[in-house]
Structure 1
Amino acid sequence: MFVGRPRIVRNSIILTLAILTIWHLGLLSRALPPSSASSSTSSEWSRLEHLMNHGAPRTPSSNSSFDWSSIPFRYPPHNTTRLPSQHKPLPRIQHHRFAPESPAAAKERTKRLVAVKKVFQRAWQAYKTFAWKQDALLPISGGAREQFSGWAATLVDSLDTLWIMGLRDDFDEAVAAVAGIDFGSSTSSRVNVFETNIRYLGGLLAAYDLSGREVLLEKAVELGGVIYASFNTENGMPVDFLSFDAAKLGKGLVVESSVVSASPGTLSLELAHLSQVTGDAKYYSAVARVMDVFYRGQNDTRLPGVWPMSVNMRAGDVVNGSTFTLGGGADSLYEYLPKMHQLLGGGEHKYEAMSRAFLQAADRHLLFRPMLPRGEQDGDVLMPGNVNVDEGGEPVLDPETEHLACFVGGMFGLAGRLFGRAEDVDTGVRLTNGCVYAYRAFPTGLMPERVDLAPCRDRARCPWDEEHWLRERDKRPEWEPHLPRGFASAKDPRYLLRPEAVESVFYAYRITGRPEFQTAAWDMFTAVERGTRTRFANAAVMDVTRAAEELPLEDYMESFWLAETLKYFYLVFSTPDIISLDDFVLNTEAHPFRLTR
């Protein structure tokens, strides 16, 4: 797929350059204190050190049975948009000076780091034993399930976690297996474009950025061809589900009339980065056209600044709709606005404009302060909710929080740093505290998938009002007597191994440097490990609202348990130079993309 020197000659050259570079870095490292080395330098050192120890990695040949780049598009894309050529210096994201660690504190942090790694290794070994090269592990029965096209979702999704945790032998084995994935064949006739993008393409790109393994870029380009085929439509908008056989024919696809807004809105980061690493602008150009539609419609919706949960991409309509949320269906659309600004080095103005408009609208309409019993966190807690716009055009708050929406704290913190808005950083901390509180409030130490709380009448002052809570509680048929005070319902009492709360804890710690967030992460980790542990790995919990010696479990382990949840726990207890937020931007599946300068 890539033209160049014969592989043996190329690898010899790489190895020679590696030796010279390591020698140079060795001299340089003697002149610099360890704390002055950037995470990118550390990553390069690890990559070159691996070359010295094991030789240049052999690049297996492609194993795909179909060449996606050969499709004759019925609707040839008009690729006129190029990656921004001008970057501007971005503000520092991470805290500028973390407090020095005492020997005892360093020992405790390392102990916690090792504990997280052991949980990952146990689950990874179970995947290798029972579900190798399949999408997902069944952690109770020791079986496997194909969920996303049969392309080994857990394997691809876990690549960068293996690298970050220093599990190089497992990484090498996984890369060899990835090289054999056939993206020309699928176990499903309809491919979920959103999931393929964030789990597979994101995983391949991040692992390539970290390791430099050429085969990972080759596989990313193959998969990029699959996703690019979803844009073979009359108006250039991508389909939500790709009809696999029809897409191969190139005769054109029909865009769905109703999809959740996150699906088309969460293709931008991965496709833009694929253009960055390949130099082929077509991927960025295709997705830029989609984001232009969102940009033009942002301030014309019934809640200006945010988009309805469902949109009609067939008509290019992202305006009509009355339901708005920060949770499932819309979440990562918003997450990618500041992250695209960061990835593109501030070179495309629309992402900053969209970010600022969204943050203002979300803070005004979609965030609420929950009324909590006296002494509980006081004013340091905010929660993300939903809004329904009534027939008169008035926004009505629905104070339901999803675990999926707990990413919002980290997003507000990141955006606050990028755009120099300290108040947004503070809002991010309060949102993070809200989800941490939801974990601690339940007897299992785990937050349910969906909860309702009684909203405060005033975000500035909110004393506990028993009668107000009882009225809110009685509105909801899902309320049960065992729920903690302050919670009006737990509409979905499950915990699905989700990462969003610890994701925001990770961002809060890296942005503020406050050790309280490491403490919160450890409390969450111990509760999660205790509640989800099975004979082989970890499983989703069916009800976290009731304490029990053994919680009821579901025989399923999502790939994001290894790709996101355990990675974020690990990074909270790593030194801040590991996947620094000043060197990487993480996609919605926690895959780190290296920032270009």
Structure 2
Amino acid sequence: MRLASLYVAATVLYHACGLALPQPGSTKFGYLASGDRGIRALQNRAANPTLEQERANAVKDAFTFAWNGYFSNCKGQDELEPVSNTCLNPRNNWGASAVDALSTALVMEIQDIVTDILDYIPTIDFTTSTTSVSLFETTIRYLAGMLSGYSLLSEGILNVTGSVANIKALLTQSQSLADSLSFAFDSPTGIPSNSIYLNSRSTGGESVNSLATIGTLVLEWQHLSDLTGNGTYGALAQKAESYLLNPEPTYNEPFPGLVGSTISISNGAFLDATGGWNGGDDSFYEYLIKMYVYDSSRFGIYRDRWILAANSTMKYLTSNPSSRPDLTFLASYVNTTFVNASQHLTCFDGGNFLLGGSVLKRQDYIDFGLALVNGCHDTYTSTLTRIGPEAFSWDTTGVDASNQAFYNANGFYITNAFYDLRPEVIESYYYAYRITGNTMYQDWAWDAFVAINATTRVNNGFSAISDVNAAHGGSFDNVQESFLFAEVMKYSYLIHAPDAPFQVNNDCENQWVFNTEAHPLKVVGPPI
């Protein structure tokens, strides 16, 4: 097939969605990365139509392997410690891995795992926990996991099912959990404490909360209100969010739409002007555009604040390493001083810009998102394990004899070599593929999955590793976070899976939106 014909085939979906694809050979923002590699990938795929299915099946096998190891050893507990085959309970001892795994087992259509989880969830007592409970972590993992499972099963779009009682229990258990957590919002402002104690219905006494832990509740709590007809849940989260959407004092918004990181619980004031898209701030910005996707008729202000933040990010935070000006990373800021350092957590940013560009029909956001995806891809391909590090920098004041050669070649140097089974880079590959149709991003995701499977797999699961740039990943850290099931496995699978209503940009529309833990929630407004 002639190259021009392949290019036409690659752009059918893109043009149908009202977007423009760079010309063949273009390297604008790294979209095709090196000449016509994206076109060649499409040609190879056409020659092997079963490749996507083979890859999807391999991810399902890895998910099933990890699930069997967790469930046989740690049913009812939060996490498997995969090196020692012991169990850990950092998430309230309610079985976090089981709840986090449900939506992935559903989209993979693995009936026996779905049945195991549906039988387990009604047994959880969400009214008690002997440990401190994180409102943020509990919302994004437990509440979203159950709401996603309820909607996916209720819609009847899958070849798996559950008993009527167990499906109903997903919603009633979500209400029970939210009712148990709701006292966290009992403050003068309605801004919640993040650390709470259910048994005494008390908080940890904090006077402040962070941007992400306040701003990453509204999607889940609003969805619970929309499913139950009880507006109280959404109202609690929206009141807290209102202080973030209307930040005061104004000097703690150093760039339009970009705000500080620490907020007073007593009066709602921002207490600093330090921030960016790194951990602690990240999912606040993520949810601005996702709330608009969830219901464009009600949440236009969220879209407007995302646009402000996105424009300022492109204008002020774009950073190109001196040794690799072809790469694009996001700096963070302290007041108006920029910090050239980033994190694996930050690498969701490319996917978020791609989603925003797609729904707003903004090619500049899509191009910028692809540039960010390309930069994060480099953090993976530059290490010995081909897995990206927890933290990295391109600040030349930190370059010395120990990292000069690495920085010269790769445009960054590693400041924390740990890998905690994080999903953000694969997540952004997923959005890049779903929105552009370029199979190069499938190949990148597959390369990442192969590296993770080869390096972190141990005994009955997958373990965090100490050093992504050491042979065999250094040492195992004996941690398997529940988001391995919810995110790494889901994005690695869905990027190769057939189109479906819950897929991003299905038929140029988003009928579902993924929360920050990758649980798909049904859109209630008109799909965009």
Instruction: Tell me what 1:192 maps to.
Output: 134
Q: Find 1:312's aligned residue among 264, 284, 294.
A: 264
**Secondary structure in structure 1 of the residue aligned to 2:377:** helix
Q: Which amino acid aligns with 1:345?
A: S
Instruction: Tell me what 1:398 maps to.
Output: 339
Instruction: Tell me what 2:107 maps to.
Output: 164
Deviation per CA, 1:410-463: give whole Å up to 9, x if none.
101111122221100111111011111110011210111000125xxxxxxxxx
Instruction: Tell me what 1:274 maps to.
Output: 224
Deviation per CA, 1:15-66: give whole Å up to 9, x if none.
xxxxxxxxxxxxxxxxxxxxxxxxxxxxxxxxxxxxxxxxxxxxxxxxxxxx
| In 1, Cα distance between equivalents of 2:51 and 2:64 | 20
Q: Please report how far the alpha carbon of residue 483 of structure 1 lies from its aligned counterpart in structure 2 after TM superposition.
A: 6.5
Indicate whether 1:155 and 2:101 are aligned.
no
Q: Which amino acid aligns with 1:545?
A: N
Q: Please report how far the alpha carbon of residue 239 of structure 1 lies from its aligned counterpart in structure 2 after TM superposition.
A: 1.3
Q: Please report how far the alpha carbon of residue 480 of structure 1 lies from its aligned counterpart in structure 2 after TM superposition.
A: 7.6
Indicate whether 1:450 and 2:391 are aligned.
yes
CA distance change for structure 1 residues 143 and 94 in 2, over 3 Å: closer, same or farther?
farther
Indicate whether 1:563 and 2:486 are aligned.
yes
CA distance change for structure 1 residues 578 and 517 in 2, over 3 Å: closer, same or farther?
farther
**Secondary structure in structure 1 of the residue aligned to 2:246:** helix
Q: Please report how far the alpha carbon of residue 369 of structure 1 lies from its aligned counterpart in structure 2 after TM superposition.
A: 1.9
Instruction: Tell me what 1:551 maps to.
Output: 474
Instruction: Tell me what 1:71 maps to.
Output: none
Instruction: Tell me what 1:529 maps to.
Output: 453
Instruction: Tell me what 2:200 maps to.
Output: 246
Deviation per CA, 1:467-495: give whole Å up to 9, x if none.
xx5x5513xx9848666734553221111
Deviation per CA, 1:123-180: give whole Å up to 9, x if none.
0000011111100010111110011111110011111111111111211111111110
| In 2, Cα distance between equivalents of 1:511 and 1:258 | 38
Instruction: Tell me what 1:111 maps to.
Output: 54
**Secondary structure in structure 2 of the residue aligned to 1:291:** helix
Contact 1:136–1:145 (CA under 8 A) maintained in structure 2? yes
Indicate whether 1:586 and 2:514 are aligned.
yes
Question: Unaligned stretches of 5+ in structure 2?
Answer: 1-15, 22-38, 155-166, 505-509
CA distance change for structure 1 residues 405 and 478 in 2, over 3 Å: closer, same or farther?
farther
Q: How well do the aligned residues superpose, as a CA RMSD in angstroms?
A: 2.5
**Secondary structure in structure 1 of the residue aligned to 2:461:** coil
Q: Please report how far the alpha carbon of residue 535 of structure 1 lies from its aligned counterpart in structure 2 after TM superposition.
A: 1.6
Q: Find 1:343's aligned residue among 285, 290, 294.
A: 294
Give matches, 1:253-402, under 5 Å. Answer: 256-297=206-247, 300-304=251-255, 305-318=257-270, 320-373=271-324, 379=326, 381-389=327-335, 395-402=336-343
| In 2, Cα distance between equivalents of 1:146 and 1:525 | 27
Contact 2:486–2:518 (CA under 8 A) maintained in structure 1? yes
Q: Which amino acid aligns with 1:214?
A: K
| In 2, Cα distance between equivalents of 1:92 and 1:313 | 43
Contact 1:441–1:484 (CA under 8 A) maintained in structure 2? no
Contact 2:100–2:482 (CA under 8 A) maintained in structure 1? yes
Q: Which amino acid aligns with 2:50?
A: K
| In 2, Cα distance between equivalents of 1:93 and 1:583 | 18
Instruction: Tell me what 1:141 maps to.
Output: 84
| In 1, Cα distance between equivalents of 2:338 and 2:143 | 36
| In 2, Cα distance between equivalents of 1:253 and 1:541 | 34
Give matches, 1:30-179, under 5 Å. Answer: 104-179=47-122
| In 2, Cα distance between equivalents of 1:580 and 1:481 | 41
**Secondary structure in structure 1 of the residue aligned to 2:433:** helix
Instruction: Tell me what 2:376 maps to.
Output: 435
Contact 1:138–1:556 (CA under 8 A) maintained in structure 2? yes
CA distance change for structure 1 residues 253 and 526 in 2, over 3 Å: closer, same or farther?
closer
CA distance change for structure 1 residues 488 and 167 in 2, over 3 Å: closer, same or farther?
closer
Q: Which amino acid aligns with 1:225?
A: D
CA distance change for structure 1 residues 204 and 432 in 2, over 3 Å: closer, same or farther?
same
Instruction: Tell me what 2:174 maps to.
Output: 220
CA distance change for structure 1 residues 502 and 232 in 2, over 3 Å: closer, same or farther?
same
CA distance change for structure 1 residues 594 and 550 in 2, over 3 Å: closer, same or farther?
closer
Q: Please report how far the alpha carbon of residue 287 of structure 1 lies from its aligned counterpart in structure 2 after TM superposition.
A: 1.3
| In 1, Cα distance between equivalents of 2:306 and 2:472 | 45
CA distance change for structure 1 residues 259 and 237 in 2, over 3 Å: closer, same or farther?
closer
Deviation per CA, 1:275-327: give whole Å up to 9, x if none.
11111111111111112111111755241321212222222112x31321211
Contact 1:269–1:587 (CA under 8 A) maintained in structure 2? yes
CA distance change for structure 1 residues 365 and 226 in 2, over 3 Å: closer, same or farther?
farther
| In 2, Cα distance between equivalents of 1:549 and 1:505 | 24
| In 2, Cα distance between equivalents of 1:441 and 1:102 | 25
**Secondary structure in structure 1 of the residue aligned to 2:196:** strand
Q: Which amino acid aligns with 2:439?
A: P
Deviation per CA, 1:350-373: give whole Å up to 9, x if none.
111111111112222223122345
Q: Which amino acid aligns with 1:485?
A: A
Contact 2:45–2:51 (CA under 8 A) maintained in structure 1? no
Contact 2:69–2:461 (CA under 8 A) maintained in structure 1? yes
Deviation per CA, 1:229-263: give whole Å up to 9, x if none.
2112232221111122332xxxx868732222111
Q: Which amino acid aligns with 2:209?
A: V
Q: Please report how far the alpha carbon of residue 577 of structure 1 lies from its aligned counterpart in structure 2 after TM superposition.
A: 2.2
| In 2, Cα distance between equivalents of 1:118 and 1:207 | 21
Q: Which amino acid aligns with 1:210?
A: L
Instruction: Tell me what 1:503 maps to.
Output: 427
Q: Name which of structure 1's ranges 578-587 and 445-454 shifts more when overlaid on structure 2.
A: 578-587
TM-score (norm 1): 0.75
**Secondary structure in structure 1 of the residue aligned to 2:361:** coil
Contact 1:95–1:512 (CA under 8 A) maintained in structure 2? no
Contact 1:233–1:254 (CA under 8 A) maintained in structure 2? no
Instruction: Tell me what 1:573 maps to.
Output: 496
| In 2, Cα distance between equivalents of 1:362 and 1:543 | 30
**Secondary structure in structure 1 of the residue aligned to 2:127:** coil
Contact 2:134–2:196 (CA under 8 A) maintained in structure 1? yes
Instruction: Tell me what 1:203 maps to.
Output: 145
Q: Find 2:349's aligned residue among 386, 408, 426.
A: 408
Contact 2:195–2:204 (CA under 8 A) maintained in structure 1? no
| In 1, Cα distance between equivalents of 2:329 and 2:436 | 20
Contact 1:442–1:484 (CA under 8 A) maintained in structure 2? no
Contact 1:410–1:505 (CA under 8 A) maintained in structure 2? yes
| In 2, Cα distance between equivalents of 1:496 and 1:109 | 27
Q: Please report how far the alpha carbon of residue 122 of structure 1 lies from its aligned counterpart in structure 2 after TM superposition.
A: 0.4
| In 1, Cα distance between equivalents of 2:306 and 2:43 | 34
Instruction: Tell me what 2:3 maps to.
Output: none
Contact 2:197–2:204 (CA under 8 A) maintained in structure 1? no
Give matches, 1:481-520, under 5 Å. Answer: 485-487=409-411, 489-520=413-444
